Amino acid sequence: IFVGALFISNLFVGVVVDNFIKIKEQEGGLALLSSGQKEWVETMLRTARAAPRRTYRPEGKVQQRLWRVVRSDRFEWLIFTAIMLNVLVMATDHCQPSEYECVDDPAGWDLFWRTSNYIFSAVFIIEMLIKMGAYGINYFRDGWNLFDFFLVSASVVDIMLELASSSNPSFNPTILRVLRVFRIGRLLRLIRSAKGLRHLLHTLIMSLPSLFNVGSLLLLLIFVYAVLGVHLFSNVAYGAFLSRHANFRTLGDATLLLFRSVTGESWNGFMHDCFVAESSGRCTGDDCGSVVGSLVFFISFTLIGGFVLLNLVIAV
């Protein structure tokens, strides 16, 4: 396992990534440059893309005090601690299972969880109001501030509807469940506080165009193999892995099956089901598979799709 599955496969990935980078450099005109020249070109490109950013600074005395507060490290650490505690409390949400449904915790945990949600919501509301006072209209010009405003607004609506439902037994609880989903969005605020996570998110966003090209190539490969699979294995009898949920009877079913296989899930099981012989007693001739066809089909698809194209995503 260590030699074959880890060492050799990683060597394969390294070759694919190395060739991908070489081709990318040739297309970008960097193949004939030395390492120092490449570094100089990349530095100049970063400098050309960089644009000066205006730093907002209020003029009023009260607004300046609020501005210094929201930009201080203590304020950032306070909000970061509140988010982490909120995440820990959200992770402890549970119910006591009965025979048919969940019932309230007799120990009063539901009351604690609800009260803590009110407290954290109040903390985030105060944070939003302080930032609004510090930045004024400029508060709404920042994407993260808009995201915070949306989460706080959803929390306020959630609390109001929760209080209304407690006095109205006929209130539809589905609306509350939908709004509580937005509480999970508070986890994303950790990205704003963590510099490393912001860099990773920025890298992912900058890689989306290249990922789209590689993803399109992968979808094209799945489509071609799905059409081929329908022609080869549409009449193969069901087995241990081939079933009414995973088969080659239609183009849609074949696409879903290959999408599962490209991730490495049960592709060898599908391959064995597709070369079922009449001697096994599971087929009568028309619904039998092909040993050679199944081996060539699944092994080639796994090598091209699972090893080459998915590793191109890593290279991007």
Q: What's the pTM?
A: 0.58
CB neighbour burial string for 216-253, b if at least 16 within 10 angstroms, e if fewer: eebeebbeebbebbbebbeebbbbebbeeebbbeeeeb
Just give the CATH number of 203-315.
Answer: 1.10.287.70
Q: Which of 75-79, 81-85, 100-104, 297-301 is the most confident on average?
A: 297-301
Quickly list H helices, 234-282: 251-262, 267-274
**Percent of the chain scoring above 70 in pLDDT:** 69
**Span of 21-35, 45-59, 183-197 with lowest mean pLDDT:** 21-35
What's residue 223's pLDDT? Answer: 94
Which residue type does 190 have? L
- Structure confidence by residue, pLDDT tens digits, 183-219: 777 777 777 766 667 777 776 777 777 777 777 888 8
More reliable by pLDDT, 103 or 10: 10
What's residue 229's pLDDT? Answer: 92
Band (296; pLDDT cuts 50, 70, 90):
very high
Nearest C-alpha neighbor of 312 from the set 223, 227, 213: 213
Q: Compute the distance between CA of residue 111 and CA of residue 126 in angstroms, rounded to an integer.
A: 23
**Radius of gyration for the alpha carbons in the chain, expressed in angstroms and rounded:** 28
Q: Is the dihedral of CA 145, 197, 84, 157 positive or negative?
A: positive
Please tell me the CATH superfamily of domain 61-193, with its number.
Voltage-gated potassium channels. Chain C (1.20.120.350)
- Structure confidence by residue, pLDDT tens digits, 120-139: 889 999 999 999 988 888 88
Band (155; pLDDT cuts 50, 70, 90):
confident
Q: Residues spanned by CATH 1.10.287.70 within the chain?
A: 203-315
What's residue 256's pLDDT? Answer: 93
What's residue 130's pLDDT? Answer: 92
Q: What is the DSSP letter of 136?
A: G
Look at residue 227 and tell me whether its pLDDT is greater than 70.
yes
Q: Compute the distance between CA of residue 242 and CA of residue 314 in angstroms, rounded to an integer.
A: 31
Q: Residues spanned by CATH 1.20.120.350 within the chain?
A: 61-193
CB neighbour burial string for 109-133, b if at least 16 within 10 angstroms, e if fewer: ebeeeeebbeebbebbeebbeebbb
Band (284; pLDDT cuts 50, 70, 90):
confident
What's residue 251's pLDDT? Answer: 93
Residue 1's beta-bridge partner residues? Answer: none
